[in-house]
Amino acid sequence: MAVTDEISVSKTIGPGAHAALDYGVAATFFALGFRYRDRNRAASLLAFINGGMVLGMSMMTDYPGGIWPSISFKTHGMMDMWQAALAGVGPLLFGFADEPEARTFYAQAMSEIGVVATTDWNATTSVA
């Protein structure tokens, strides 16, 4: 494969499904925050920060489930990459990169990148 070749990924996730996934991710991060609270304060804090970011973006996106639709679905996609990056490098930044809890954040970041890659960011959003 040449450097200029592109890899094509099927865009199977629409705005409604993406919204459901986002709220699930936020809930997962909040659950991790409570789970890690007593054994790893840094991991707990990072989980709550990520959960708050995902929940806030979800509530502000103009897709089904958005409460205050002030950002576009396409902008949400760019912000998703920043949030996934925080999840991925967060254990290093928060000082627990070589502890078992870090693997959860690495896996979550990879999962989020997969969702971003397979979401149709040009799909029409319909907020009811």
> Is 64 within the bounds of a domain?
yes
Looking at residue 27, what is its pLDDT?
98
Beta strands in 1-128 (DSSP E): none
pLDDT, average across residues 78-91: 97
**d(Cα 29, Cα 100) in Å, to the nearest integer?**
16
Upper half-sphere CA count for residue 44 (Cβ side, 13 Å): 8
> Is 2 within the bounds of a domain?
no
pLDDT 10s digits, 92-109: 999 999 999 999 999 999
**d(Cα 128, Cα 115) in Å, to the nearest integer?**
23
> In sequence order, which residues have a C-beta less than 8 Å from that of residue 97 and are 6 or more positions away?
91
> Is 82 within the bounds of a domain?
yes
Looking at residue 32, what is its pLDDT?
98
pLDDT 10s digits, 37-69: 999 999 999 999 999 999 999 999 999 999 999
> Is 83 within the bounds of a domain?
yes
Q: The tokens 């990148």 sit on which residue? A: 113
> Is 6 within the bounds of a domain?
no
> Is 112 within the bounds of a domain?
yes
Range of the domain at 94: 15-118
**d(Cα 117, Cα 99) in Å, to the nearest integer?**
28
**Count of structural domains within the chain:** 1
> Is 127 within the bounds of a domain?
no
Upper half-sphere CA count for residue 39 (Cβ side, 13 Å): 8
> Is 77 within the bounds of a domain?
yes
- Residue 8 in this model has a pLDDT that exceeds 80: no
